[in-house]
């Protein structure tokens, strides 16, 4: 039996790379944003918002992802700023994922600019895995115009850590026998699942490097960090049992998450994102003729701290309005109403294919009405594309109305981008 081989693919400075690629390949501009101090920012006219991505030349001015546009301009007054175009980013994201699927069907997209590939047993097809990683990396650049880093290891954690080594446009390995040399000297804040708050706590304990974390008594970590202490101890030692999740396995749940184009500080904006996620999740539930009775919401804040909360429903459902209503209640219980949000996700579990519903005597007709409405909407979208019918809150295109959707019209637009 072949040893596990996992690739982690990460687009370098994704939003800026995609904007630059579009301008050079499609708009035929001669100036490449990647070659000058530049960034993707918020509302440039009002000098508000935050930096979402920056070029390598911009790094020389110590411009940081997540800092305010005003702060970035104070460091580099001649910084070239571009508005975020999430619709364009989704198109490029889908295009690079399609390339990955040419090499293995076992592809898990974990964010708009990251994916895992399970390449176990493919040595007989491709030979050297390092060589095929270079082929994939170069093909993405030659066909789509932007660069990626690829990390290779025997599990997802180490592959991701490898992919975060020196950038851009490189391939790195981090197998268990390489951990002590390549990973342990890194700062503890570089370890996956260690956010700024956790890093601060670890440094107060005198734990500055991943190597020192790996050698710390696990009981000390659990005493100060509870369950997270146990998780990061395992990660520091390269232990990870997560599998690459892909669409060919039977569903135990349906989920979707999205990295938001800007840090969200308003509950109304966050709930719009939740609505777009509910649209895609519930569409998939109905397509597979199943219902869910447990809804969970996941959140990653601006400091990369992860949290989640869930709620069990009175009766299993696949109605978008109902699941959205529960998701909002879970979100209100989860978020502290202060810390800006970077990523949101929704997961529907405890599935059933039974066509029953426990009515609430106070709104017993609402479920039937919404179920019929959803069925009609699904039919229209299947025939004419996802954009053929959208909810009123998305008429002003602040967020995509179906986060990470797979509409036919979007695929057509992407084809036009590369044919031009």
325 is catalytic: no
- The strand ranges marked E within 158-284 are 171-173, 253-264
**Comparing C-alpha atoms, which of 273, 405, 420, 289 is closest to residue 354?**
289
**Comparing C-alpha atoms, which of 260, 265, 329 is closest to residue 297?**
329
Q: Tell me how far the alpha carbon of residue 288 is from its chain's centroid.
A: 24
SS3 string of 115-184? EEEECCCCHHHHCCHHHHHHHHHHHHHHHHCCCEEEEEECCHHHHHHHHCCCCCCCEEECCHHHHHHHCC
Using an 8 Å Cβ cutoff, are 346 and 257 in contact? yes
Token digits of residue 163 = 């992919």
Output the CA torsion 104→87→303→148 (10° steps): 40
Using an 8 Å Cβ cutoff, are 336 and 290 in contact? no
**Comparing C-alpha atoms, which of 219, 291, 261, 308 is closest to residue 88?**
261
- Phi, psi dihedral angles at 244 (to 5 degrees): -70, 120
d(CA 403, CA 93): 12
Cα–Cα–Cα angle for 189, 195, 199, rounded to 5 degrees: 50
Catalytic residue among 114, 199, 371, 404: 114
Using an 8 Å Cβ cutoff, are 280 and 402 in contact? yes
d(CA 332, CA 339): 13
d(CA 34, CA 416): 23
Q: Tell me how far the alpha carbon of residue 117 is from its chain's centroid.
A: 15
Pairing of strands 114-118, 107-111: antiparallel
Q: Tell me how far the alpha carbon of residue 99 is from its chain's centroid.
A: 18
- Phi, psi dihedral angles at 207 (to 5 degrees): -100, 100
d(CA 371, CA 357): 11
Would you please indicate which residues are annotated as catalytic (active-site) residues? 114
């Amino acid at each position: 039996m072949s040893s596990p081989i996992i690739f982690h693919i990460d687009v370098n400075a994704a939003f800026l790379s995609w904007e630059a690629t579009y301008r050079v390949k499609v708009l035929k501009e001669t100036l490449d944003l990647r070659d000058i101090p530049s960034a993707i920012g918020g509302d440039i006219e009002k000098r508000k918002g935050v930096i979402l991505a920056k070029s390598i030349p911009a790094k020389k001015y110590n411009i940081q992802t997540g800092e305010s546009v005003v702060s970035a301009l104070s460091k580099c007054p001649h910084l070239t700023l571009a508005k975020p175009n999430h619709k364009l980013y989704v198109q490029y994201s889908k295009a690079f994922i399609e390339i990955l699927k040419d090499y293995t069907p076992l592809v898990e997209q974990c964010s708009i600019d990251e994916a895992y590939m399970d390449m176990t047993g493919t040595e007989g097809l491709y030979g050297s895995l390092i060589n095929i990683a270079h082929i994939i990396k170069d093909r993405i650049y030659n066909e789509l115009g932007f660069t990626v880093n690829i990390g290779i290891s025997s599990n997802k954690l180490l592959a991701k850590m490898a992919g975060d080594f020196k950038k851009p446009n490189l391939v790195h390995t981090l197998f268990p026998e390489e951990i002590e040399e390549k990973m342990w000297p890194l700062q503890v804040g570089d370890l996956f699942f260690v956010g700024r708050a956790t890093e601060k706590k670890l440094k107060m304990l005198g734990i500055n490097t991943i190597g020192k974390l790996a050698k710390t008594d696990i009981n000390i970590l659990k005493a100060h960090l509870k369950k997270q202490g146990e998780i990061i101890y395992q990660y520091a030692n390269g232990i990870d049992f997560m599998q690459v999740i892909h669409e060919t396995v039977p569903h135990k749940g349906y989920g979707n998450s999205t990295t938001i184009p800007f840090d969200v500080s308003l509950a109304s904006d966050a709930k719009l994102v939740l609505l777009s996620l509910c649209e895609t999740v519930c569409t998939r539930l109905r397509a597979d003729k199943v219902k869910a009775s447990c809804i969970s919401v996941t959140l990653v804040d601006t400091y990369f701290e992860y949290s989640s909360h869930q709620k069990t429903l009175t009766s299993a459902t696949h109605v978008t309005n109902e699941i959205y209503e529960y998701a909002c209640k879970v979100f209100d219980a989860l978020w502290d109403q202060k810390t800006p949000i970077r990523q949101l996700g929704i997961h529907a579990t405890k599935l059933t294919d039974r066509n029953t519903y426990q009515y609430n005597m106070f709104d017993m007709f609402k479920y039937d009405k919404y179920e019929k409405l959803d069925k009609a909407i699904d039919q229209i979208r299947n025939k004419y594309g996802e954009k053929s019918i959208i909810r009123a809150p998305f008429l002003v295109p602040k967020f995509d109305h179906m986060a990470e959707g797979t509409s036919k019209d979007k695929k057509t637009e992407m084809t036009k981008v590369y044919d031009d």
